[in-house]
Structure 1
Amino acid sequence: MKAARYSDSQIMAILKQAEAGSTVPDLCREHGMSSASFYKWRAKFGGMDVSMMTRMKELEDENKRLKKMYIEAQMQADIIKEAMSEIIRNISASRDGSLGR
């Protein structure tokens, strides 16, 4: 994953400058970023402070980790289910074959 070019505090400082009245094109030129990045940050982090922003990122990371754990558990359950159905089929087939003799 690509490392962040701007820290949380830098993003907050840029958003504060915009709130103070700086124009978006001037901010983008000054900080070497695209206007799309600015608007994405404003939509995501507008109205937050640095501690809230950090907490949100921690929660996003935890959510990503939990989703990965869920997917792994689901895959394991599917493998077990498939193996059990194969065992049951084999037992049924062996019983049917031995009853016919």
Structure 2
Amino acid sequence: MKKKYSVEEILRILSEEKQTGKTIRGICREHNITEQACYRWRLKYEGVDLKEAMRVKQLEEENRRLKQIIID
């Protein structure tokens, strides 16, 4: 089963590496995610605060809706 993580959860998971000193492999195992997903999240969200990340997520959703309207 595929679980969608919220932006808050993703940022919290990514911050664990810096705060606790755990390895990526350990963090991924603990949260039952793939290392590939963790590295993809890192590329997308590293250096971004929660407010900016929520705005990006909102814009992506709006873009998806607009594309769907054009398709229909």
The equivalent of 2:13 in structure 1 is: 14
Q: Determine the structure 2 residue equivalent to 1:56.
A: 56
Distance 1:22 1:3, change over 3 A: closer
Supply the AA of the counterpart residue of 2:13: I
Q: CA RMSD in A?
A: 1.8
**Equivalent position amino acid for 1:7 in 2:** S
Cα displacement string for residues 21-66 of structure 1 (whole angstroms, at most 9, x for unaligned residues): 3210110111111111101110111111222111111101111122
- Greater mean deviation of Cα atoms: 25-34 or 13-22: 13-22
Query: 1:58 is aligned with what amino acid?
Result: Q
TM-score, length-scaled by structure 1: 0.59
Query: How far apart are residue 71 of structure 1 and its match?
Result: 3.7
**Whole-Å separation in 2 of the counterparts to 1:65 and 1:33:** 28
> Residue 47 of structure 1 corresponds to which residue in structure 2?
47
Quote the offset at 1:19 in angstroms: 2.6
Aligned pairs, number: 70
**Runs (4+) off by over 4 Å:** none
Q: How does 1:22-101 map to 2 (within 5 A)?
A: 22-72=22-72
Which protein shows a greater Rg? 1
* Structure 2 gaps, min length 5: none
Amino acid corresponding to residue 12 of structure 1 in structure 2? L
Alpha-carbon separation, structure 2, partners of 1:62 and 1:3: 21
| Structure number with higher relative contact order (C-alpha < 8 Å, ≥ 6 residues apart) | 2
Segments of structure 1 that go 5 or more residues without pairing to the other structure are 73-101
